[in-house]
Amino acid sequence: DAGVTQSPTHLIKTRGQQVTLRCSPKSGHDTVSWYQQALGQGPQFIFQYYEEEERQRGNFPDRFSGHQFPNYSSELNVNALLLGDSALYLCASSLDRDFLYNEQFFGPGTRLTVL
C-alpha cells in the first residue's frame, strides 16, 4: 500500500525565485492538504485540495498557490520567495468521505532553504 510521497526531498533557492513542490497521496485517498512547518513549531495549514479545487485556505499570502490533478496528486507553488519561507513543507492525504474524522497522513516532506 503506497504511502504519501513528496518530491523533491530538499531544495535550495534564492530570494525572489519560484518553487514547485509535488505530492502524491496515499493509495485510495482523494484529498490533499499542504502544511508549512518552521523549526520548533507545529505544522501550519496552507490549503486543501479536493476535486481539483482549493477548498479551504489558511493564513498564507497569495504567493502560495496550488493545484490538484485528476489523479489526485498535487503541487504547491511559492512565488517571490522570502527568507522566511525556509521550512519543511508537508503534504497530507485523507479520504473526503471520512470527513467527520479527517485522519490525515503525512508524506516525508520537502525541506526548502531560501538564501
Partner 1 sequence: QKEVEQNSGPLSVPEGAIASLNCTYSDRVSQSFFWYRQYSGKSPELIMSIYSNGDKEDGRFTAQLNKASQYVSLLIRDSQPSDSATYLCAVNNSGDDKIIFGKGTRLHILP
Given the rule CB under 8 A, which residues bind partner 1? 31, 33, 40-45, 48, 55-56, 58, 88, 90, 92, 99-109
Least Å from the CB of residue 16 to partner 1: 28
Strand partners, 35: 45, 90
CA–CA gap between residue 45 and residue 56 (Å, rounded): 9
Determine the straight-line distance between the first and last CA of the chain, rounded to whole angstroms: 37
Pick 25 or 43: Cβ nearer partner 1: 43
DSSP state of 21: E
Tell me the closest approach of the beta carbon of residue 62 to partner 1, in angstroms.
Answer: 18
Q: Min. distance of Cβ 11 from partner 1 in angstroms? A: 16
